[in-house]
A = this chain, B = another copy of it.
Amino acid sequence: MIKVGIVGGTGYTGVELLRLLALHPDVDVSVVTSRAEKGLRVDSVYPSLRGFNDLCFVEPAIENLTQCNVVFFATPNATAMLMAEGLLAEGVKLIDLSADFRLKDVAIWEQWYGGKHACPDLLKEAVYGLPETNRSAIKKAGLVANPGCYPTAVQLGFMPLIEAGVVDTNMLIADAKSGVSGAGRSASVSALMSEAGESFKAYGVAGHRHLPEITQQLNQVKGQHVNLTFTPHLVPMVRGIHATLYAPLIDQGVELQSLFETYYENELFVDVLPEGAHPDTGDVRGTNRCQLAIHRPQGGNVVTVLSVIDNLVKGASGQAVHNMNIMFGLDEDSGLRQIGLYP
């Protein structure tokens, strides 16, 4: 059994890791930390876990975690970077669900996340944990930077088009919509149900932190500067991301459906829907699956890709478990064989 530690067990990605790992056949969750809830039983904070977890929260100290084979950071940004070197030195593998190790360029990180990065040297070493594009590096990684939720949905939709060179990367548009759980489990006025319910709005239009992450990854494929307009919106629901992607076609003859089906034919967690489909976030609720559909409206020169994920699973904790499975040579879908909770 792989011994697992979770730092930051009281946010939504933390409790989602607990949900997934409690039923993972190859894993034993040994340590869950929370500074605020230290000493409390985990299942007193999360009654959904009663009967599946009898741990108490402990202090997030390195000595509490060195016994683990792998530690997940489900923490706010700028926390994992303070503990990463210490744990790596003890031979513990790390999967960071925050943004500390996603950007390769420390200057860009500091521009978008503020403050100084605590261990810029680790940025080179960190492996970006999108299995569909980076599997072999993840296998050997000691430190995985788990992708952001929006970047996951957007990259999976754009990647086949960009790799095939069939779209003009000078005017890519990602119009993305997320449920409110993406805002996390800390008290805030804007995520109150009275604010976010029965209403719809965009946010961060001038610039969202996931923009440089997406751009960095798409640039790698293309080897040149991709021009992306990224607009996130808040949907009055709890879970789910729907990214609607637009790109000008430069190869009018390409067979889009088969391009995507071939690209993802060996991927367990990316499901290309039949032509004409409209994926629904409700069909992937609670699962690690991305469902995609590809359209060319009115036979015109714009390709529209629809990409849905559960932001807390494929967009965070499920992808983190997937990365762990790859790092430890387990079946990739171990602990992740779930069916979408519809309706």
Contact = CB atoms under 8 A, between A and B. Distances in A.
A279 interface: yes
A332 interface: no
A277 B193 contact: no
Q: Which of A185, A233, A287 has the most CB of B within 10 A?
A: A233
Interface in A233-269: 233, 235-240, 242, 244, 246, 248
Contacts of A274: 44
A235 to B, nearest CB: 5
Given A238-B193, A306-B202, A173 B281 contact: no
A46 interface: yes
A177 interface: yes
A180 B233 CA distance: 18
Q: Could you say how many copies of this chain the assembly holds?
A: 4
A23 interface: yes
Interface stretch (A48-56, A60-68, A130-138, A320-328): A48-56
Interface stretch (A81-89, A119-127, A216-224, A333-341): A333-341
A341 B205 contact: no
A232 to B, nearest CB: 10
A1 interface: no
Nearest to A198: B237
A265 to B, nearest CB: 13
A202 B244 contact: yes
Indicate the member of A196, A227, A283, A343 with the most B CB atoms within 10 Å. A343
Interface in A284-304: 284-287, 291, 293, 295, 297-298, 300-302, 304
Contacts of A283: 46-48
Contact of A298 (B179, B206, B244): B206
Nearest to A298: B207
B191 A291 contact: no
Nearest to A341: B286
Contacts of A193: 180, 191-193, 195-197, 236, 238
Contacts of A300: 227, 229
A246 B342 contact: no
A238 to B, nearest CB: 5
Contacts of A196: 193
A302 B194 contact: no
Contacts of A52: 339
A186 interface: yes
B339 A19 contact: yes
A337 B19 CA distance: 11
Contacts of A177: 177, 200, 233
A194 B238 contact: yes
Contacts of A186: 189
A326 to B, nearest CB: 20
A239 to B, nearest CB: 7
A205 B238 contact: no
Interface of A: 12, 15, 19, 22-23, 44, 46-52, 171, 173, 175, 177, 179-181, 183, 185-189, 191-203, 205-207, 211, 227, 229-231, 233, 235-240, 242, 244, 246, 248, 271, 273-274, 276-287, 291, 293, 295, 297-298, 300-302, 304, 306, 308, 337-343
